[in-house]
Chain A
């Protein structure tokens, strides 16, 4: 019974993720393909940082919300989601290109190292997994939520780091005190 219910749950989850991934893929395909191809040539040249910074930023959203029009808000959210998905596709295309370039060079190298190859492949797989997770998260919750989450995580990690520093300082002070005594 437990196996059956977990099977149902697993299958439903997989189907749901597939639907979400499919919708994301279709949404990003609707965008201008030639633009994508040109942007794939090199992220730094074609997609300036100011442009990328705005995708996940709340500034535009705050402005649109200030207009107080539901139609514009919905249009903004839909378009921003599409732009974010295209950006993720560009990133994964560049990662794939880097890996392809490496494979084409490494396959003919006589002194290839297996451990280095495994490490590079692991990096590649991790990067592609990050892109997939980003794509699913953008499709499900939108780029603004993702930006907010990253911002929150950064704040949290800063707080943890500060706490750790103060704890360390405390321990060091105690140790110095006991040595002096």
Chain B
């Protein structure tokens, strides 16, 4: 009964999100995100139709789950692309941070293979999903950290996507750590309910289009980066000297 309720509410919210996206023209501005929602809605309907077929359902579930995960990674790319379009400097830092995250993940994967002497056939789909979700979580954390450091203003719409997706990925990583491979238990319901909450967050933030706020301080673009960086370093150095001198006096 509870499972059915979660299922139906998820499908209803996904459809509502798509309808609002089309009506507010947000689907044209954020095509990857709305493509992802369309895919997940179709996936939920397909899973719902095949839920009683125990032979076909596991194949459909895991196949679509990994496909959804891959498309979900593109959502992170869209957040990066849209929010940093006006900030080439911050975008460059983000590219480096994301490359670092993915290279670290690949290096860790290779190191695990080397230490265990080959691919682990026993590693379950759940373990694989947890590893991939952890990489996604690290990528989102890196992006959020950069947004905070560079005070990137993102409007209500992007903030909602980031908030919802971050919540979804974060709880998924935690749940996958404790979740047994089969059965309907607390962690299964926790995962499903948080997805419904995620959809509600998206629906509230993406109800209508809101223009992204522009930076208040106009910085002359021709100003050389080297000059800016040198001035900052000089000021930081001056502050350190000032503190040292004050304490020693």
Contacts and interface: CB of A to CB of B under 8 A. Distances in A.
Given A52-B246, A154-B248, A116 B219 contact: no
Given A57-B249, A151-B248, A123 B93 contact: no
B88 interface: yes
Interface string A38-51: 00000100000100
B249 A102 contact: no
Nearest to B243: A91
A169 interface: no
Nearest to B233: A120
Contact of B235 (A98, A108, A113, A134): A98
A2 interface: no
Contact of A98 (B92, B150, B217, B236): B236
A106 B236 contact: no
A154 B149 CA distance: 35
A109 B89 contact: yes
Interface string A105-121: 11111111110110111
A179 B219 CA distance: 63
A62 interface: no
B247 A112 contact: no
A124 interface: yes
A29 interface: no
B82 to A, nearest CB: 15
Given A104-B219, A105-B228, A114 B93 contact: yes
Interface in A106-165: 106-114, 116-117, 119-121, 123-124, 127, 130-131, 134, 146-147, 150-151, 154
Interface centre among B152, B215, B249 (most CB of A within 10 A): B249
A110 B228 contact: no
A109 B225 contact: yes
Nearest to A149: B247
A120 B232 contact: yes
Contacts of B114: none
A110 B221 CA distance: 8
Interface string B213-228: 0010101010111101
Interface in B180-208: none
B114 to A, nearest CB: 29
Given A104-B215, A124-B236, A109 B242 contact: no
Nearest to B215: A104
A130 B240 contact: yes
A127 B243 CA distance: 10
Given A104-B150, A105-B219, 15 more contacts: A52-B246, A95-B236, A98-B236, A99-B232, A104-B215, A106-B228, A107-B151, A108-B89, A108-B219, A110-B221, A116-B225, A117-B229, A127-B236, A147-B248, A151-B248
Interface of B: 86-90, 92-93, 96, 149-152, 215, 217, 219, 221, 223-226, 228-229, 231-233, 235-237, 239-240, 242-243, 246-249
Interface of A: 43, 49, 52-53, 55-57, 87, 91, 94-95, 98-114, 116-117, 119-121, 123-124, 127, 130-131, 134, 146-147, 150-151, 154
